[in-house]
Amino acid sequence: MDPFFELTATKTGSGSPDSRAPGSRARAGILHTSHGDIPTPVFMPVGTAGAVKAVSPRGVKEAGAKIILGNTYHLYLRPGCDLIDKAGGLHRFASWDGAMLTDSGGFQVWSLETLRTITEAGVEFRSHIDGSKHLFTAESVMEAQRKIGADIIMAFDECTPYPSTPEQAKHSLALTQRWTERALEWLGKNPERHGYRQHFFGIVQGGMHLDARARAIEHIAAMDTPGIALGGLSVGEPAEIMYEVAGHCTALMPPGKPRYVMGVGTPSNLLTLVGLGVDMFDCVLPTRNARNGTVFTWDGPLHYKAARHAQELDQPLDRRCSCYACKNFSRAYLRHLFVAGEILALELATLHSLHFYQDLMREARAHIVAGDYDTWSAELLARWATPEVRGA
Amino acid sequence: MDPFFELTATKTGSGSPDSRAPGSRARAGILHTSHGDIPTPVFMPVGTAGAVKAVSPRGVKEAGAKIILGNTYHLYLRPGCDLIDKAGGLHRFASWDGAMLTDSGGFQVWSLETLRTITEAGVEFRSHIDGSKHLFTAESVMEAQRKIGADIIMAFDECTPYPSTPEQAKHSLALTQRWTERALEWLGKNPERHGYRQHFFGIVQGGMHLDARARAIEHIAAMDTPGIALGGLSVGEPAEIMYEVAGHCTALMPPGKPRYVMGVGTPSNLLTLVGLGVDMFDCVLPTRNARNGTVFTWDGPLHYKAARHAQELDQPLDRRCSCYACKNFSRAYLRHLFVAGEILALELATLHSLHFYQDLMREARAHIVAGDYDTWSAELLARWATPEVRGA
């Protein structure tokens, strides 16, 4: 059987193959799942409630995505894990034949703040939909993820708030570690339900405290989980701190495991973190922003709903993009649809944004393999650091 | 050059070809436009503001539609006819390479009731969007339709209210006739703008008064417009009265012209009216209902958002349908998406509804040509006359 994760040889300055581009910590790899191989670095579109918002599975696939994310918290509440189990898992329920990852719901219930109580057992919370009471434990969310049946499932963790004291971070981390141990124990006793492998990722917490992060990595590395995630990033800290923490962590992480930064981010975040050795990402940003009137392009963010695009009949959202939206429609048309409240605006903008994120990761990988990732990404980061490039 | 409309030979009881199925007034035909041939009877999906709501042009095409409708009133207000003109017409603006028909806005401004004043010149109205004042005249809406560039354009008419007195109907009809004459005069002096033919349809008004309708038909037939529409139907009258009026009219209409009943209707309405010799339809019903939780199926309407469908994991919306939604998703999934507020529910339900309406007209045509339309449609009408067929 293939290993779950393999690093891909890249061209180094010396001419000999290595897994990193020269002068860079960026890595290219492949995740092998029962629902297909996934080249890394990879961005996973978020399909919160069993659907990537505003696009169909064939649209997601057309954008180039080979893996999407589902939220255990949302799916548990609606339509319920038992129904998904009965359907044969979320792949079949949602007609998605690519790979899938589910989070554990840890972040969502933690975000409920006034609606939840955290104890050693787990998190008791009230549904944001109807106020009903529920309990998530380290074990119950594993069972939920077994039923949902994603190819990659995540530990139940407590997110460390930002800012946090070293004491808070230590306490929160210890809880996450105990929950992770309980999760692994439960998983060891309860096999997969849908006839294919589910790969478990531990989650590194520890706030912005580098020593706590280091201890967390040591703990998870010792457990030898198939992959390791960095949680508790992009929770309000400046980007520079996120990069510092992530870079510190990836230097300590075992090179043979995929590294997943959860809930991040902008195209610039992705390129910077890829340069620090991160392999996997997910974020609602491209899809949510698209529905709110902004898409990312190779020239930077574009507020396509803005009045200044009303007359741009000859320009697509992104001249470099080959997606259905860019090949067929002008900014003027997209802007018109958005202003007129047409759902099609949201679909087309989402299609483009997904396509762009997939292209970005595909090109990033090609440059890592070619050995010029840092030069390539530095140019883009500089371009995107300036305000929106208008028209032209 | 092909004629604009041709009747198709059908199998008659005697074995000799005729344009009607035996024992039926149903007709099969073909509309020839610069954007493709359109077999009739035909249902035209409504693309109010330059987009069929919730689906992309490729989705509309996949459903089998060869012609869609645009609303001059909506397009005039937003994005404006000049922008569409500058784009090279609505086909190019909206990336729709099939055929297109625009209404004149007559029905929309008439519907504004408290926001409009009807005079001999035309209709002065306030925009439903921002309250701004506008004037539509018989001439100005022809200019608007020239700019929008549909393959079929409609006369500016005053809709006769229901119920109406013979006096009201007579007065309203006379106004429509004068406006139609003015429209034709304007069109004669102002050529097409986008390099292809625009075919003008007169509109028959006259309320439910059969003599007024007869006079209207005589007037329009004398003008020899490429097609004739029946307006002022489905404005609140019982279906039986609509059928009586329509049947009365089609019997008087020149057989060589396409007949278009505007703004109708349910699958049963369509089958009945096809049986009375109507060739063309448009209606927001399939798309609007789909967005509100109901689709039409071969077994009758299906309230897919209803709780009773929550567990139907093995049933598509419609077992007989081959659309993307029916081939890939269960009722349970569609119901979940709708309840969770996912836009994808609206897209999938709309795709199905469009597909169903197109299939319905395609099958109707095949049965007209085969000579058994009345038997076939009677069976369906009986099936749909019963309440929703549940499950099974």
| Assembly ipTM | 0.96
Residue B74: list chain A partners with CB under 8 A: 340
**Which pLDDT belongs to residue B13?**
57
**B37-282 carries CATH number 3.40.50.2000:** no
DSSP B323-369: SHHHHH--HHHHHHHHHTT-HHHHHHHHHHHHHHHHHHHHHHHHHHH
Taking alpha carbons only, the member of B220, B244, B223 closest to residue B233 is B244
Of A78, A86, A340, the CB nearest to B313: A86
Banded pLDDT at A392 (limits 50, 70, 90): very low
pLDDT > 90: percent of chain B: 93
- Closest residue on chain B to A343 (Cα): B54
Q: Is the pLDDT of residue A391 over 80?
A: no
Query: Which of helix, strand or coil describes residue A349?
Result: helix
Cβ of B347 and A343 within 8 Å? yes
Instruction: Output the six-digit token pair for B25.
Output: 């007034």
Rounded to whole angstroms, the Cα distance separating B200 from B155 reads 7
Distance, C-alpha A353 to centroid of its chain: 14
Q: Which residues are CB-contacts of A271 (< 8 A; sequence separation ≥ 6)?
A: A360, A364, A377, A380, A381
**Among A347, A348, A350, A352, the residue to mutate for chain B (most B Cβ within 10 A):** A347
Cβ of B87 and A313 within 8 Å? yes
Rounded to whole angstroms, the Cα distance separating A163 from A165 reads 7
**Using only C-alpha atoms, what is the Rg of chain A?**
21
pLDDT in tens, B340-361: 999 999 999 999 999 999 999 9
Give the burial class of A220: count Cβ atoms within 10 A of its Cβ; 0-12 exposed, 13-18 middle, 19 or more buried.
buried
pLDDT in tens, B129-147: 999 999 999 999 999 999 9
Cβ of A78 and B336 within 8 Å? yes
Q: Is the pLDDT of residue B213 over 80?
A: yes
pLDDT > 90: percent of chain A: 93
- Closest residue on chain B to A86 (Cα): B313
Rounded to 5 degrees, φ, ψ at A74 are -65, -40
Q: Is the pLDDT of residue A388 over 90?
A: no
Question: Kind and range of the H or E element at B40?
Answer: strand B36-40
Instruction: Work out whether strand B99-102 and strand B67-70 pair parallel, antiparallel, or are unpaired.
Output: parallel
Q: Is the pLDDT of residue A316 over 70?
A: yes
Banded pLDDT at A311 (limits 50, 70, 90): very high
- B255, B217 in Cβ contact below 8 A? no
Taking residues B158-179, what's their average pLDDT? 95
Cβ of B344 and A53 within 8 Å? yes
Of A54, A74, A87, the CB nearest to B343: A54
Q: Give the minimum alpha-carbon distance from B343 to chain A in angstroms, rounded to a whole number.
A: 5
pLDDT in tens, A361-379: 999 999 999 999 999 999 9
**Which pLDDT belongs to residue B391?**
42
Q: Which residues are CB-contacts of B61 (< 8 A; sequence separation ≥ 6)?
A: B98
Taking residues A275-304, what's their average pLDDT? 97
- The region, left, alpha or beta by phi > 0 then psi within -120 to 50, assigned to residue B80 is left
**Which pLDDT belongs to residue B20?**
63
Taking residues B223-242, what's their average pLDDT? 96
User: Taking the CA of residue B108 as centre, how many other CA atoms within 13 Å lie in the half-sphere pointing to its CB?
Assistant: 21
Annotated catalytic residue B103: yes
Query: Which of helix, strand or coil describes residue A278?
Result: coil
pLDDT in tens, B291-344: 999 999 999 999 999 999 999 999 999 999 999 999 999 999 999 999 999 999
- B300, B384 in Cβ contact below 8 A? yes
Q: Give the minimum alpha-carbon distance from A160 to chain B in angstroms, rounded to a whole number.
A: 29
Residues of chain B numbered 298-327 and touching chain A (CB < 8 Å):
310-311, 313, 324
Taking residues A226-253, what's their average pLDDT? 97
Domain range list for chain A: 41-283, 291-384
pLDDT in tens, A78-134: 999 999 999 999 999 999 999 999 999 999 999 998 899 999 999 999 999 999 999
**A41-283 carries CATH number 3.20.20.105:** yes
pTM for the complete prediction? 0.96
B343-370 helix and A343-370 helix, angle to the nearest 10 degrees: 110
Rounded to whole angstroms, the Cα distance separating A162 from A173 reads 14
Annotated catalytic residue B282: yes
Instruction: Output the six-digit token pair for B220.
Output: 């329009």
Taking residues A332-359, what's their average pLDDT? 98
Rounded to whole angstroms, the Cα distance separating A21 from A15 reads 11
Q: Is the pLDDT of residue A2 over 80?
A: no
Q: Give the minimum alpha-carbon distance from A388 to chain B in angstroms, rounded to a whole number.
A: 24
Mean per-residue pLDDT of chain A: 95
Residue B329: list chain A partners with CB under 8 A: 95
* Identity of the residue numbered B64: G
Mean per-residue pLDDT of chain B: 95
**Window from A11-25, A215-229, A263-277, B208-222 with minimum mean pLDDT:** A11-25
Query: Which of helix, strand or coil describes residue A387?
Result: coil
Rounded to whole angstroms, the Cα distance separating B169 from B247 reads 19
**Among B343, B348, B352, B354, the residue to mutate for chain A (most A Cβ within 10 A):** B343
> Would you call the peptide bond into B258 cis, given omega within 30 degrees of 0 as the criterion?
no
Rounded to whole angstroms, the Cα distance separating B276 from B270 reads 10
Q: Give the minimum alpha-carbon distance from A71 to chain B in angstroms, rounded to a whole number.
A: 13
Query: Which of helix, strand or coil describes residue A153?
Result: strand
Banded pLDDT at A389 (limits 50, 70, 90): very low
Rounded to whole angstroms, the Cα distance separating A85 from A327 reads 39
Of B51, B78, B342, the CB nearest to A344: B51
Taking residues A213-230, what's their average pLDDT? 97
**Interchain contact B99–A (C-beta under 8 A):** no
**Which pLDDT belongs to residue B219?**
97
SS3 track for A36-53: EEEEECEEEEECCCCCCC
**Which pLDDT belongs to residue B24?**
84
- B299, B318 in Cβ contact below 8 A? yes
Cβ of A94 and B333 within 8 Å? yes
Residue A53: list chain B partners with CB under 8 A: 342-344
Taking residues B3-22, what's their average pLDDT? 75
**Interchain contact A354–B (C-beta under 8 A):** no
